[in-house]
Structure 1
Amino acid sequence: MRTFAIGDIHGGLKALIQVLNKLEVKDEDTLIFMGDYVDGWSESAQVVQFLKELSETIKCLFIKGNHDVWCEEWLKSEYVNPTWYMHGGKETMNSYIGFSKEEKKKHLQFFESMPLYYLDDKNRLFLHAGFTSMHGVRREVNEDTFYYDRTLWEMALTMDKQIEKDSAIYPNRLKHYDEIFIGHTPTINFNVEVPMQAANVWNIDTGAAFTGKLTGMNIDTKVFFQSDNLPDLYPNEKGRNK
């Protein structure tokens, strides 16, 4: 049995299919998706449909991202959040042209069923963005933090690598979990095209929403596979603006 974590897809169905083919996913594998399935490239609704069908044959866990929250809100109430519209929502709405009310309802249920985080039996935490409570995710006061926070990653990046985990000055937030897997903050922001590790945090959002690739990583071996750069897969589109 293998478990793969897959980064932010942002409507890039072609990239998702490439990564799954490279992973050579088997029936006994588990796929943990880190959120942000929509907003960016032109196939957001198609990504959601594909993932729903994939989960019928492969064990999948879908973490909820901030873009998924916006899309869920629109599917539920038809309210168009202005921030969402400017950051990929317009493309997502267009991708739903031709989908029936019943299909949209099933997609809404898909979003509503997503957890905000997942903790496995090896004390590895998976969530879209981060958390702020020094007591861990179960003591987080504001659930928005799970899909918006960047301070967890920023803290991990700025830590002195010589600080040991049993040190008194090691951040309490990081002590609770053996490893933490996140998306949300593209590694290409740091001129890195592959997954990044800082302290015990792994960031596998490699910028598929923009000019980067989509990544799938074996969480045990850390071997990863990537799609082509998304602009190459969607040459007639712009993707999201940073």
Structure 2
Amino acid sequence: MQNTFVIGDIHGGLKALLQVLNKIKVTEEDTLIFVGDYVDGWSESAQVIEFLIDLSEKINCIFIKGNHDVWCENWLKKDQVNPTWYMHGGKETIDSYEGFSAEEKKQHFAFFEKMPLYYLDDKNRLFLHAGFTSMHGVEKEIFKENFYFDRTLWEMALAANQKIDSNSTFYPKRVQHYKEIFIGHTPTLNFNVETPMNALNIWNVDTGAAFTGKICAMNVATKQYVQSDKLPSLYPNEKGRNK
């Protein structure tokens, strides 16, 4: 049986990523859709990218680009350190590249460069890192940065969720274009929730791996999910982004 799984933010936590892949017992028939932020946080960012490149040669994978991936891509391209990035996990990512050759870094840059900003499957399910603002959908989005920085999509969904149903004329137009939307970027820990969250037709699968939470993998059809151990327990001598 073919399954499609969406995987939340990783943030350099290779040990946790391996846990969730083992738990879902991923096979060569499956599709894995990653919603971005592979780097910045724990100590194995470069190793995560190396692993994902190898994984994509064996399994059908779709890698959405997140904001931290944009920062890392720019560093690999120009060898210039963005101060904001450095303070939000960039230092750990730079350290993780110690020992990687120029050719390996070039391969990683190419991996980041070809990542799409969103993916729409044949069942009209949208996958992206953060959000979008156009009421006409992602194809009409003017500011592409919204795909990896916007939080208003999720904030709007949370605000409307308790007051509205999908048949209402007030149901937000920008989400009506899609059967379902899967995002990361905004940790569910921000709402004191350790598991994936649903609001309107949006699923948030960032369960806080960058901080004290876990990596999540969800079956997009059944909504069954697995999670890793909490990242601080897997990297006990590190702080991640808990600074």
User: Matches of residues 53-202 of structure 1 in structure 2 within 5 Å?
Assistant: 53-202=54-203
TM-score by length of 1: 0.99
The Cα offsets for residues 161-184 of structure 1, whole Å up to 9 and x where unpaired, read as 352323211110111001000000
Aligned partners of 2:161 and 2:199 also within 8 Å: no
Find the aligned partners of 1:161 and 1:194 in 2 and give their Cα distance: 19
Letter in 2 for 1:27: E
Aligned partners of 1:87 and 1:241 also within 8 Å: no
Instruction: Indicate the percent of aligned positions where both proteins have the same amino acid.
Output: 73
The Cα offsets for residues 112-165 of structure 1, whole Å up to 9 and x where unpaired, read as 010000000010000000000000000000100000000000000011435232
- The ranges of structure 1 where at least 4 consecutive aligned residues each deviate by more than 3 angstroms after the TM superposition are none
How large is the Cα RMSD of the aligned pairs? 0.8
Find the aligned partners of 2:161 and 2:197 in 1 and give their Cα distance: 16
Deviates more, 1:168-177 or 1:54-63: 168-177
How far 1:241 sits from its partner (Å)? 3.5
Aligned partners of 2:184 and 2:206 also within 8 Å: yes
List alignment gaps of at least 5 residues for structure 1: none
Q: How many residues align?
A: 242
Give the corresponding residue for 1:11.
12
List alignment gaps of at least 5 residues for structure 2: none
Aligned partners of 2:212 and 2:242 also within 8 Å: no
Deviates more, 1:183-192 or 1:158-167: 158-167
TM-score by length of 2: 0.98
Find the aligned partners of 1:30 and 1:192 in 2 and give their Cα distance: 27
